[in-house]
Amino acid sequence: MKRLRLPANAHVGEYESEAYFLGRLGVFDVRPLNCIRKATGEIVPIDVIPRHYSLENSRFLESLTI
């Protein structure tokens, strides 16, 4: 399944943050300040907002993705 990005004008999260949607899970407020890079190079989210959606709402979010 492909990760889908929600448009910036969807108003989900802080200024210049990104939001992603996959299946029935949305992850919001994704931005550099909310992630750390481990010594191995792996990026770990520390302050993003995950949200699980009903099937109906997930279909609506999918319709918004770019």
What's this model's pTM, rounded to 2 decimal places?
A: 0.68
Separation between Cα atoms, residue 18 and residue 49, nearest integer Å = 11
Q: What is the pLDDT of residues 22-43, one digit of tens each?
A: 889 988 888 889 999 999 999 9
Count of structural domains, the chain: 1
Contact of 65 with 31, CB cutoff 8 Å: no
In which band, very low, low, confident or very high, does the pLDDT at 44 lie, cut at 50, 70 and 90?
very high
Residues 6 or more apart in contact with residue 2 via CB below 8 angstroms: 22
Structural domain for 54, as ranges: 4-64
What burial class does residue 29 get, using C-beta atoms within 10 Å of its C-beta: 0-12 exposed, 13-18 middle, 19+ buried? middle
